[in-house]
């Protein structure tokens, strides 16, 4: 009989699973060729850990334990569904000869193989049989390990809509027999855009978590950055791939300075720039240079433009040295290349810094009726800042109260409360 899990053990299991689930799902999907079944088997491994770890203790390599358990169950499923000899040849006879109790030492995956599996998982989830929304949602769920609520927040849509999207997407992949592979030739190029969007959304969820008690979730940022680097190696002639890699390198470089001693958010203006990672900044510059070289005389794509904006920020030795005029110009080009309410909101901030708060407020007020920003807490947050700079304190307080009500990340809510108190 298994020992009931304690709160500490449950937290440890769930934390490890949150980090490792994308790799587990990807590794198992290579065996069963069905991402829906792979996710179920990964969940089975989680249940097994909750049953066994309280008695046996948390393994030295818990991620490998979970992977081995999920793969063992995948092998058992394959045996039941297919002929023994053919399927075991595909999976590898090392799995067949391993003890039934998973031994992480016997089943540790090669890091390169893990990356390959993750890449296959991304391209499978981004297959054109799915809608654009379904591709991104499914990959965030499977690769990013995000909950339905977190994905809904990233999409600025209802949780029920996201849940239905995930169910339908997995069903479509299964019924259409979508292969678990990285596409080649023109098909790969056609599907690249949605893959880049998925990686960027995964990074953003790690860089500024939409909900919960943590401002940062570094594991998600690391997964996204690794995938961006893998793509850059696979597609060296694609400027947007290098643009995304540059953007994530530069954004990652600032991560250490984005939180204070107690994990509280630190805004860009107040960050200790000596804590920025210069190695990642240099890698970002190099990736941006490659992107610009491949772009040539053409118009830069959205990710190249965003990387150029990020580069403007890190080139400034002090916040006061930031070239807001150049940033506003880049945002104007980005608004033409990839128009969205969020881009317009960011452009408004840059314009306010370059031309004054009145100019920025006019742009923000034009977004007031934008449906996609109806529940987006950064809209009233930005408006509050502009109103405060104009001396309209009571209006600024009302906007901050609205932003606090809409925000779902606790450190961010605390930051907004502090701003409200300062007024």
Q: Is residue 43's pLDDT more than 60? A: yes
Last residue of a domain, one of 109, 138, 159: 109
- Give the span between the Cα atoms of 272 and 251, in whole angstroms: 15
CATH assignment at residue 398:
1.25.40
Each residue's pLDDT tens digit, 132-149: 778 878 877 887 777 888
Give the model's pLDDT for residue 308.
98
For residue 93, being part of any structural domain is answered with yes
Q: Of 109, 136, 151, which residue constitutes the final position of a domain?
A: 109
Task: Answer whether residue 307 is part of any domain.
Answer: no
List the domain range (segments joined by +) for residue 406.
350-423
Tokens of 386: 């502009």
pLDDT beyond 50 at 104: no
Q: Can you tell me the distance from the alpha carbon of 29 to that of 142, in angstroms, rounded to the nearest whole number?
A: 11
pLDDT of residue 338: 92
> Which of 87-96, 177-186, 332-341 has the weakest average pLDDT?
87-96
**For the chain, what is the domain count?**
2
Residue pair 291/304 in contact by the 8 Å Cβ criterion? yes
When comparing pLDDT for 156 and 142, which is higher? 142
Band (pLDDT 50/70/90 cuts) for residue 14 is confident
Report the range of poorest mean pLDDT among 18-32, 142-156, 326-340.
Answer: 142-156
Identify the domain boundary among 74, 109, 144: 109
Q: Is the pLDDT of residue 102 over 50?
A: no
CA gap 229, 287 in Å, rounded: 10
Q: How far, in Å, CA of 69 to CA of 298, rounded?
A: 50
> Does 381 map to a domain?
yes
Does residue 419 lie in a domain region?
yes
- Answer yes or no: is 91 within a domain: yes
Check if the beta carbon of residue 35 is closer than 8 Å to that of residue 142.
yes
Is pLDDT above 70 for 95? no
Instruction: Establish if 338 belongs to a structural domain.
Output: no
Per-residue pLDDT at 156: 60
User: For residues 34 and 82, is the Cβ–Cβ distance under 8 A?
Assistant: no
Whether 55 maps to a domain, the answer reads yes
Report yes or no on 18 lying in a domain: yes
pLDDT digits (tens, 9 = 90+) for 363-384: 999 998 999 898 899 999 999 9
Tokens of 328: 């506003």
């Amino acid at each position: 009989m298994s020992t009931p899990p304690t709160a500490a053990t449950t937290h440890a299991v769930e934390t490890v699973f949150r980090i490792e689930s994308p790799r587990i799902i990807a590794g198992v999907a290579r065996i069963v060729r069905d991402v829906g079944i792979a996710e179920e088997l990964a969940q089975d491994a989680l249940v097994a850990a909750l049953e066994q770890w309280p008695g046996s203790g948390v393994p030295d390599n818990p991620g490998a334990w979970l992977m081995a358990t999920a793969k063992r169950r995948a092998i058992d499923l394959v045996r039941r569904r297919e002929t023994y000899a053919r399927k075991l040849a595909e999976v590898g006879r090392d799995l067949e000869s391993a003890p039934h109790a998973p031994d992480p030492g016997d089943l540790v995956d090669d890091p390169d193989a893990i990356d390959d599996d993750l890449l296959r998982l991304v391209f499978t989830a981004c297959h054109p049989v799915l809608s654009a929304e379904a591709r991104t949602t499914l990959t965030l769920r499977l690769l990013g390990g995000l909950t339905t609520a977190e994905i809904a927040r990233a999409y600025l849509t209802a949780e029920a809509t996201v849940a239905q999207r995930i169910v339908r997407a997995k069903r479509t992949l299964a019924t259409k027999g979508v292969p678990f592979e990285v596409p080649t030739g023109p098909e790969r190029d056609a599907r690249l855009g949605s893959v880049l969007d998925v990686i960027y959304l995964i990074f953003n969820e790690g860089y500024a978590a939409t909900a919960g008690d943590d401002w940062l979730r570094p594991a998600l940022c690391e997964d996204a950055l690794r995938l961006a680097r893998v793509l850059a190696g696979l597609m060296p002639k694609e400027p947007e791939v290098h643009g995304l890699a540059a953007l994530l390198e530069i954004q990652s470089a600032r991560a250490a300075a984005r939180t204070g001693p107690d994990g509280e958010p630190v805004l860009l203006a107040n960050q200790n720039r000596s804590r920025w990672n210069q190695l990642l900044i240099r890698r970002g510059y190099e990736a941006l240079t490659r992107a610009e070289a491949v772009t040539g005389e053409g118009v830069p794509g959205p990710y190249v433009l965003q990387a150029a904006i990020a580069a403007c920020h890190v080139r400034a030795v002090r916040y006061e040295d930031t070239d807001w005029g150049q940033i506003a110009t880049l945002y104007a080009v980005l608004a033409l290349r990839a128009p969205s309410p969020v881009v317009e909101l960011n452009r408004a901030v840059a314009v306010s810094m370059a031309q004054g708060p009145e100019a920025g407020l006019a742009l923000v007020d034009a977004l007031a009726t934008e449906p996609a920003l109806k529940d987006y807490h950064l809209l009233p947050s930005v408006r509050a800042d502009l109103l405060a700079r104009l001396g309209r304190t009571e209006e600024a307080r009302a906007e901050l109260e609205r932003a606090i009500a809409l925000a779902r990340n606790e450190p961010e809510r605390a930051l907004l409360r502090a701003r409200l108190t300062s007024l």
